[in-house]
Structure 1
């Protein structure tokens, strides 16, 4: 509900009570986004009436201006950068997206979502390219290599494949994305955060890359604790397991 009885009203009342509140101002920024989504709908761009787009763009510009006016939030809350990246994506402003990511990665290098938001914006289906996904994944890994090795590289590419399953073909053919670095990234992540979720990701990536050795090793470690929701569309654990037998 984006009316005064819903999120918009909550933001107004909160701001009235505490005009300098970081949370209240971020919520107000999100109101513009909520109104834009409500206006556009969830369907493909081709299903949106042409007269909707100018109104949609106007709301995005209003959110951009509001965020810039309240940029002091960025020193306290990384969400400011995520919101601005989302605005950049919706305005198809590549320059704004990358400048926001660059600044955010200096202040909050370990915060994964700043890279995820940028990666989603530059997926091929949104007008980006696999090369841009690779660029963002490399940037994330470089910013965090001392603490996390190549963990961020694997994480960004794994999410890219979930958002756009067609990208699996690149890993399968060893094009653009580096399988060696992705596998090392998952191993680095498992050292930091040993979990069945990471083992599932090793299984998924190994299946796509057709790496029997890494699949079998992870399969022994996971002991049947597969998580269906982790697997991308078109990929099945049992089928992968059988394909390596």
Structure 2
């Protein structure tokens, strides 16, 4: 049975006897954001993702480690705990953790308080992978706070030095936690991300990646992180992305290959190519088109439909664009289209 949406998360909390804790979360959300977000009947992907992240942040603020542990355990126990579009709830969980450790903060007092939170969580659940990964995320975000979010050329030399030193500390820490923390696929995801930031060589990167997907072949964020590793902005190339994509397809069941290929190039479009995906990459549109059908067979959300219609339009596939446009029921989503004008032009072109 597919388990998607925030209703699933709430049922998990009740089933685990965490209803009173969930009620405390509701109170915490009210205090933090002033209103409880409710996912509408036509589940909005952005709201759904944001609510998981908000919930995790509120639970961390309340130091409700019991509920945080229950959620993490449920999210990593099945590959079917996903949003309506098919995004893993476990990904949103750790995005919520990362968001709580805001990298724009540089005040030592704030980071010390966060370290105390991670330590308290670890003391409460010493055998769990979750607080170990939370501590690793804390160290990773501390490193990024030194670097900042600007372009490479804007980062002063002293901040580069601090970033590299802290990133190396985070990598050393997470490496030592493998025996326990690798029970959660996020251990591999974060380990590879830290290695990428430290210019890990491709052979080492792929050795860790292959081990990761042998253990968790259906945890797609592992594949998405590798797309970034092999993208031109990180020293890779269009050829490297396509070579990786073909390698990745061998790691999943035959029936899942086209869908994975589609999601790989969706990430490549988001993080590297934008609207130039079909001119600057080696994407195989017929294979991607088959993957679109496979994804929509399981996750027929407007978010997926709008993104896939965008790709079909850019691929100059008029029949597919027309078909997908005809299934869209929501207004144009600015995160799927470059602009409302682009949406209208594609709709007009497709007929």
Task: Indicate whether the TM-score tops 0.5.
Answer: yes
- Please list every run of 5 or more consecutive structure 1 residues that lacks an aligned counterpart in the other structure: none
Q: Using the TM superposition, name which of 150-159 and 69-78 deviates more.
A: 69-78
Aligned-partner Cα distance in 2 for 1:231–1:97: 33
- Given candidates 207, 210, 218, the residue that maps to 2:324 is 218
How far residue 74 of structure 1 moved from its aligned partner, in angstroms, is 4.7
- Given candidates 216, 221, 228, the residue that maps to 1:113 is 221
Q: Using the TM superposition, name which of 194-203 and 20-29 deviates more.
A: 194-203
Aligned length: 242
Q: Using the TM superposition, name which of 216-225 and 45-54 deviates more.
A: 216-225
Deviations 1:53-110 (A, max 9, x none): 2221111111121122111135410010011111111101133322221111100010
Q: 1:128 to 1:58 in 2, by over 3 A?
A: same
Aligned-partner Cα distance in 1 for 2:340–2:332: 16
Aligned-partner Cα distance in 2 for 1:92–1:4: 28
How far residue 235 of structure 1 moved from its aligned partner, in angstroms, is 8.0
Q: Describe the SS at the equivalent of 2:335.
A: helix
Q: Using the TM superposition, name which of 106-115 and 137-146 deviates more.
A: 137-146
Partner of 1:192: 298
Partner of 2:282: 176
1:160 aligns with 2:268: yes
Q: Describe the SS at the equivalent of 1:236.
A: helix
TM-score by length of 2: 0.63
RMSD: 2.3
Aligned-partner Cα distance in 2 for 1:23–1:213: 47
Partner of 2:167: 60
Aligned-partner Cα distance in 2 for 1:230–1:25: 35
Structure 1 residues 62-211: aligned runs within 5 Å: 62-95=169-202, 96-166=204-274, 168-172=275-279, 176-211=282-317
How far residue 226 of structure 1 moved from its aligned partner, in angstroms, is 4.1
Q: Describe the SS at the equivalent of 1:160.
A: helix
Q: 1:13 to 1:60 in 2, by over 3 A?
A: same
How far residue 28 of structure 1 moved from its aligned partner, in angstroms, is 1.2
Q: Using the TM superposition, name which of 189-198 and 229-238 deviates more.
A: 229-238
TM-score by length of 1: 0.89
- Please list every run of 5 or more consecutive structure 2 residues that lacks an aligned counterpart in the other structure: 1-104
Q: Using the TM superposition, name which of 107-116 and 194-203 deviates more.
A: 194-203
Asked if structure 1 preserves the Cα contact closer than 8 Å seen for 2:306 and 2:333, the reply is yes
How far residue 36 of structure 1 moved from its aligned partner, in angstroms, is 0.6
Asked if structure 1 preserves the Cα contact closer than 8 Å seen for 2:277 and 2:283, the reply is yes
